[in-house]
Amino acid sequence: MLPVARLAAVLSLTSSLAVLACSHSSDEADKAPEAKTEQPAPEPATPEPNPEPEDAAEPKPAPAAAKVEQLSFVASELGDKDGELEHCLDCKRKAARYSYCRFAKDALAAAIGEDNMAKPVTVEVEMVERSSETVTPDDPNAPQPEGGFTHTYFSCTVTKLVGAE
């Protein structure tokens, strides 16, 4: 059989079965046309637990665990943001998320030494997450990830000067 003829035969058989199924009815349905099919009863609604009052003391989250990392930078080239020195950990690559370390100026100068502020240094820092925000460019046509960029800010403290050039 040709594929078209086979398809026509299958469609003809299918429509014949559908007509037979629709024309067959029970005697009860013929006697009582207004008979309805029984539907399951809806489940009873479960009561919601009483919410606690808004002024109830909520447990405060535990302080963020500090992580220790080694960073290399030139302190005099760090950005000055809100009276702190800022180092972007991963700004040399395109990404949807960027992490920023913020150092207190005086504490950084004391930890690495005034003489090393203009030299490349490698330091071990303790990083505690401070905040996170989503940023979208002012230009809507600028390339950006869906939902904007995520900037995470860390408060950083130098724990050890590993090396200076």
Q: How do 97-104 and 79-81 pair as beta strands? A: unpaired
Is residue 79 within 8 A of residue 93, CB to CB? The reply is no
Q: What is the mean pLDDT of residues 55-62?
A: 51
Question: For residue range 81-135, what is the model confidence (pLDDT) as tens digits?
Answer: 888 999 998 888 888 899 999 999 999 999 998 888 899 999 999 999 999 999 9
Q: What is the pLDDT of residues 138-157, one digit of tens each?
A: 898 988 888 889 999 999 99
- Non-local (6+) Cβ contacts of 95 within 8 A are none
Which residue, chain included where needed, has tokens 């909520």? 58
For 83, the token pair is 């009276």
User: Confidence band (pLDDT; 50, 70, 90) for 158?
Assistant: very high
**Residue ranges per structural domain of the chain:** 67-164
The first and second tokens of residue 94, run together, are 């395109």
What confidence score (pLDDT) does residue 36 get? Answer: 53
67-164 CATH, one of 2.40.50, 2.50.20, 2.60.40, 1.10.760: 2.40.50
